[in-house]
Amino acid sequence: MELYGLAAFAGVFLLAVLWAVESIEAELTKHFELKVTAGDPAALRNDVESVLRRYHVKFELRSLGQKELVYDSELPLHTRTDRIANAILSLGKNGETEVAWDEKKRRSESLMTAVISATAARRRNPAHAARASLPGDRPSTRRDAQLIALD
């Protein structure tokens, strides 16, 4: 009978730990550079930012020029850019407003891609492992530098 109680406690404890871990997990997002081109972007700025807030977009103004606004933005994964773009376009007058979304890779994603490609190259040809280096790597020995120079 004691084993049933222990099993029930272990099951409840495991569910509580899994729930806690899942609640800590960060929300999945997409990273974009948003460019809004208009005749007078300064006048449009507050309206554009209110549209971004309405769609729960995290944003930071990167530049405000004579013809364009540039934002660094993070959208929730399920958010569609076309709906936000249409809302921003409806703010402009005479069809002179343009919206462009440029998806950006996160720094960690590009570093992970470099690690994977370097690892794959080392597996294909271990004799020339120095050829496939990670960003910021330097040859550690004279032989590594010679191998790199031969390529």
CATH no. for residue 84? 3.30.70.260
In a domain? residue 112: yes
Q: How far apart are CA 49 and CA 128, in angstroms?
A: 52
pLDDT tens figures, 43-98? 889 999 999 999 999 999 999 989 999 999 999 888 889 999 999 999 887 778 89
Do residue 96 and residue 115 come from a single domain? no
Do residue 73 and residue 113 come from a single domain? no
Strand arrangement of the beta sheet that strand 58-64 belongs to: 58-64, 68-76, 29-37, 98-103
The CA-based diameter of the chain, rounded to the nearest angstrom, is 78
Q: Which of 88, 103, 118 is the last residue of a domain?
A: 103
Do residue 99 and residue 128 come from a single domain? no
Question: Does 107 score more than 90 pLDDT?
Answer: no
In a domain? residue 4: no
In a domain? residue 71: yes
Do residue 133 and residue 92 come from a single domain? no
Six-digit token string for 2: 């004691």
Position 19 confidence tier, pLDDT thresholds 50, 70, 90 = confident
In a domain? residue 84: yes
Strand-pairing partners, residue 37, are 68, 98
Question: Does 126 score more than 70 pLDDT?
Answer: no
Do residue 141 and residue 81 come from a single domain? no
Do residue 98 and residue 115 come from a single domain? no
Do residue 99 and residue 122 come from a single domain? no
Q: Which domain does 111 fall in, by range?
A: 107-150
Question: Does 123 score more than 90 pLDDT?
Answer: no
Do residue 92 and residue 42 come from a single domain? yes
Count of domains in the chain? Answer: 2
Do residue 34 and residue 94 come from a single domain? yes
Do residue 140 and residue 87 come from a single domain? no
